[in-house]
Structure formats: structure tokens, C-alpha cells
Chains A and B, each alone.
Chain A
Amino acid sequence: QQQVKQSPQSLIVQKGGISIINCAYENTAFDYFPWYQQFPGKGPALLIAIRPDVSEKKEGRFTISFNKSAKQFSLHIMDSQPGDSATYFCAASMKFGNEKLTFGTGTRLTIIP
């Protein structure tokens, strides 16, 4: 019940296109859903996060869409750029109780010119 399932495992998108990564969770006690971006040799960097009281959050070219009833959330990267090529992780945690980030398995995104 603690799992977060992430898809696809890898994604190739043309420059200027929209990159979409999906995650699904089972534990309804999760109430914080961040996305992290990781470049080779670096630690994960917090990109954007959402709580279940909103269905969408946008920061620049990055948007999280959240569907509470389906227990799914997704990351959309608009106008994808070669510099966006990285591994993206979704995660989930709870404010109270078992406070830890449970991560998805990651998506390797490659933006081609």
C-alpha cells in the first residue's frame, strides 16, 4: 500500500513538445506529492509539488495535474528543451505519521532537437 507506480520508464520527446510522466498511488493517507529532477552525478532537485486540495499546479513550464478519485498525478513539461533531459521522480508522503518520501521508479527523459 506504500507503493508509487511511475510510467513510462523512459521517454523521448522532440524539442518544443510536451513531456508527460504519470504516477499512481494506493495509500489514501498520502497528502503531499512532489516531483524531483535528477541530473547524472547530482542529488534530486525539488521541481514542483502539490497537495490533494487542488487539481492542478503550474510553475513556469511545469504543471502537476492531480486526480484524487483515480489516485493519480502527472507531470507535464511544456515546450520541452534539451536542458530538461534528466531523470524525473514522483514521490508521495504524509504530513503526519509515517513521514517519509516514497518514490516512484523514475523516468529517463530525453529531449531531441
Chain B
Amino acid sequence: KAGVTQTPRYLIKTRGQQVTLSCSPISGHRSVSWYQQTPGQGLQFLFEYFSETQRNKGNFPGRFSGRQFSNSRSEMNVSTLELGDSALYLCASSLRGAGYEQYFGPGTRLTVT
């Protein structure tokens, strides 16, 4: 089975712009979670989608949003980018959710200048 794929792998944006990141989960997995990884804050949970419904949301501002499509692919969007949004954004897929095995993609490295 192919693993979790994320596109693009690298992205450079300017403050104030918006960005959309994409994640394709492992075939058959219905749960997709997003995490932000930074040197200062570590790995932090953004949100989780299961069968197109957001089940959980972390403590991030409303500028961070996401959605999941009927084929389980997911996108996350960050509007009005700030310098502090520079991070590695990781997507993880799971058959049943975060309380079970989650498999991560390689991440999208976002740099905001």
C-alpha cells in the first residue's frame, strides 16, 4: 500500500497571504489528522477529520481550517499568514482515529517571509 502523501513538500509564502496544503491518506483510511511541528512548540494537534466531518480541533486560531473530501483526501488552509506559522505541517492517517495506529506523511515545510 502506498503511504501518506502530502503536497507540496516545500512552500515559501509572504506574510498576509494564504496557503492550502493537501494530504492523501493511505487507501482505506477514513481518519486524517493534521499536526504542526516547530522547534519551540514541538508537535501540536490542529484538527482531525473522519468521513468528511471534523471530529476534533486543537487550540489554533480560526485562520487555520481544513476539510475532507468523500475520497478521504484532506486539505488544510491557513489564511493571513504570520511569520510564526513557519513550520512543518504533518498529516497522519488512520483506519479508525487517533486512538489507534496513525501513520504520518513526510510533511509540508512552510516558510513565511
Contact = CB atoms under 8 A, between A and B. Distances in A.
Interface of A: 31-32, 34, 36, 41-46, 49, 89, 91, 93-96, 98-106
Interface string B52-94: 0001101000000000000000000000000000000010100
Nearest to A103: B43
Given A43-B90, A43-B107, A44-B90, A102 B45 contact: yes
A46 B101 contact: yes
Contact of A98 (B44, B56, B105): B56
B104 A99 contact: no
30 contacts: A34-B102, A41-B106, A42-B106, A43-B4, A43-B105, A43-B106, A44-B43, A44-B104, A46-B101, A46-B104, A89-B43, A93-B98, A94-B99, A95-B99, A95-B100, A98-B56, A99-B48, A99-B97, A100-B45, A100-B56, A100-B58, A101-B43, A101-B98, A101-B102, A102-B45, A103-B42, A103-B44, A104-B42, A105-B42, A106-B42
Interface residues of B, number: 24
Nearest to B47: A100
Nearest to B35: A101
A29 to B, nearest CB: 11
B104 A100 contact: no
A49 B55 contact: no
Contacts of A95: 97, 99-100
Most chain B CB neighbours (cut-off 10 Å) among A31, A89, A99:
A99
A44 to B, nearest CB: 5
A24 to B, nearest CB: 16
